[in-house]
Chain A
């Protein structure tokens, strides 16, 4: 009964003797069939087909990896390639040119991104919470490592990207991450992530790590917007004040220039007039020197001629100084010069 494992064969019969007989008969038939030329042809054809199954194509941008009984044998460049058929050699083809992408904190499908808050909300170094979405591009850099050194490298990449992102964001303040530090955070995430991927022997290379969104969480967004508005207010107030200064100072300079010019003008005219007056005086005096008495008389009379025609005149006999008082007020003796020229007093009183 040591040969009980024959029981697994397809022609098992309860009786061993009968079974062996049956087998012999069948093998004999097959041998006879094989001896015919048709049989040889069929067998040869099958063999050829089996050998031909080792042909495979490595597309452009791909790398083939050939295993001999499961052990790494060789790598193949793009083109039509041959390996020994199964089960002797097997092959795996990896696309090493295709840029692969992963998103943290968001899932994009058909161009629309759906945020994933449990991934995108994270703590910053100053104990605030920030909403960050990361986009990673990577490619397979080493197909052998990619296939054989880490299980499921692309899942590893996702988890590692989260580790790197949260690690870096946790080391910086929210303001730094959101503003001037954004590019640096991006760079450090990339470096950190690549370090992890190398340590885990994933054979992946990160070509780009980009922060898509760095925002305050929805609950506090309004407060952050108000800070931006406050900054704008600040700038506006300063600009308005600067506008005021731009207006006031030049006007003052203009006023000053005007004052100076007026003073200059005054000074100049004062001097010139003085010179003119002096010249006139000297001229007259030089004439006067020759005939003092006559000139004096003449000048006096000319002046009186110019003055007296325009005036009301009263001539008093005797000592005018003493006798003039009884006549006062003198004005009532004659009609006022204005009333004399215009209408009667009654009319002008009505007009008033």
Chain B
């Protein structure tokens, strides 16, 4: 009797371990019966399946990231670009996923194929400059939308595709550097020329100011000189005009004193007015 009980207990325990399984918060899975899909399990927690006959395959439920290798693309204006993208996706339908791509590695390979094709198509529709500048977000959205649609049959939901690096191929970089140098040279030349220009302006303006200031001062000083002369003339005229004959007499005497400097030779006629008494006391 005890034998049978113990045997039954052991069998029961074994069946429990075979049929009960735990799905973690970040997991989901698929129950298959002899290779045939039966049921999808999405909820985390304790779950039950038929022992032995059914097996449970786990898949990740989280958002997964694929960081692809960089590849070269041609833009509309025939420039080559090395683009490196990342895609984020999750397994939406474990059944389709299991049926079509089997596991994550298969999914990544498939996704990369799709994204490369979409990127090639989108990049080829835009010019290089557009791609770098304003169209990057738009292109990423278009690629995401296209990829999402094409990946759906594989049970994959694409969250987004982002362009990480978009670089010029190494051999093109050298010519970019050369252009950058030329551009900087141009700016440097402009700065120096501008400096020269401003400096000349400032110097010329200073010279002009100086000439004007001096000329104005000359003008004013001449006017003052004239004023002084005029006033002096008027004063003289008023005073001397009262007796021009006497003025003439005095002024001549003064002039004689000035012009007969020391050593001047003077020839006096003996009969001149000054010397008239040399002839005798009663002369004239």
Report which A residues bind B (CB closer than 8 A).
3, 5, 20, 23-24, 27, 67-72, 87, 118, 121-125, 127-129, 147-152, 155-156, 159-160, 162-163, 166-167, 170-171, 174, 196, 199-201, 216-217, 219-220, 223-224, 226-227, 229-231, 233-238, 240-242, 244-245, 248-249, 251-253, 255-257, 259-260, 262-264, 266-271, 273-275, 277-279, 281-282, 284-285, 288, 296, 299-300, 303-304, 306-308, 310-321, 324, 330-331, 337
In the complex, which residues of chain A have a beta carbon less than 8 angstroms from the beta carbon of B266? 308, 311-314
Are A266 and B224 also in contact (CB < 8 A) when A166-B166, A248-B206 are?
A: yes
Of the residues A166, A174, A319, contact of B269 by C-beta under 8 Å? A319
Within 8 Å of chain A (Cβ to Cβ): is B106? no
Chain B neighbourhood of A242, CB < 8 A: 202
Within 8 Å by CB of B188, from A24, A227, A248, A300, lies A227
A249 to chain B, nearest CB (A): 5
Contacting residues, chain A, for B14 (C-beta < 8 A): 5
Q: Are B267 and A128 touching (Cβ within 8 A)?
A: no
Residue pair A233, B181 in contact (C-beta under 8 Å)? no
A159 to B236 CA separation, bound complex (whole angstroms): 104
Asked whether A241 lies within 8 Å of B199 as measured between CB atoms, the reply is: yes
Say yes or no: B6 contacts A24, CB within 8 Å: yes
Which B residues have a C-beta under 8 Å from some C-beta of A?
2-3, 6-7, 11, 14, 22-27, 43-46, 60-65, 67, 86, 88, 128-129, 132-134, 136-137, 159-160, 162-168, 173, 176-177, 180-181, 183-185, 187-192, 194-196, 198-203, 205-207, 209-211, 213-214, 216-218, 220-225, 227-229, 231-233, 235-236, 238-240, 242-243, 246-247, 249-250, 253-254, 256-257, 260-272, 274-275, 278
Inter-chain pairs besides A237-B196, A311-B265, 6 sampled, C-beta below 8 Å: A68-B45, A72-B44, A163-B164, A274-B233, A274-B236, A324-B267
Which chain A positions have C-beta within 8 A of B271? 318
A223 touches B196 (CB 8 A): no
In the bound complex, do residue A167 and residue B136 qualify as a contact, i.e. CB atoms below 8 Å apart? yes
- Given known A-B contacts A159-B67, A220-B184, A23 and B6 have beta carbons under 8 A apart: yes
User: Which of A72, A160, A240, A315 interacts with B270 by CB under 8 Å?
Assistant: A315
Which residues of the other chain, B, contact A252 by a CB distance below 8 angstroms?
A: 209-211, 213-214
Cα distance, A208 to B23, chains bound together (Å): 37
What would be 27 A-B contacts, judged by CB atoms less than 8 Å apart?
Answer: A27-B2, A67-B44, A70-B45, A127-B129, A151-B65, A156-B63, A159-B67, A199-B160, A200-B159, A220-B181, A223-B180, A227-B191, A230-B192, A240-B199, A241-B206, A242-B202, A248-B210, A259-B218, A266-B224, A266-B228, A271-B231, A288-B246, A296-B249, A303-B257, A304-B274, A311-B263, A313-B267
Cβ-defined partner of A330 (8 Å) among B187, B216, B265? B265
> Lowest 5 CB-CB distances: which A-B pairs, in order?
A267-B228, A256-B217, A234-B195, A263-B221, A278-B239
Which residue from chain A places its CB closest to the CB of B185 in the assembled complex?
A: A223
Take A281-B239, A311-B264, A330-B267 as given contacts and tell me if A170 and B176 are in contact as well, using a CB distance cutoff of 8 Å.
no
Q: Is the CB of A128 within 8 A of B180?
A: yes
Q: Report the bound CA distance from A316 to B63 in whole Å.
A: 143
Q: Within the assembled complex, what's the spacing in Å between the Cα atoms of A95 and B183?
A: 50
Known contacts: A71-B43, A260-B224, A273-B232. The answer to whether A331 contacts B265 by CB under 8 A is yes
Q: Is the CB of A238 within 8 A of B206?
A: no
Q: Contact between B228 and A270 (Cβ–Cβ < 8 Å)?
A: yes
B260 touches A310 (CB 8 A): yes
Closest Cβ of chain A: how far from B257's Cβ, in Å? Answer: 6
Contact A233 B191 (CB under 8 A): yes
Q: Write out the residue numbers on chain B whose beta carbons fall within 8 Å of the beta carbon of A201.
A: 63
Report the minimum CB–CB distance from B224 to chain A (whole Å).
Answer: 4
Partner of B168, one of A123, A160, A233, A281: A123
In the complex the two chains form, is B210's CB within 8 Å of A249's CB?
Answer: yes
Residues of A close to B235: CB separation below 8 A: 271, 274-275, 277-278
Residue on A with the closest CB to B168?
A123
A146: min CB distance to chain B, Å: 11
CB <8 Å contact, B165 and A227:
no
Give the most central of B2, B88, B168, B256: most A CB within 10 Å: B88
B202 touches A245 (CB 8 A): yes
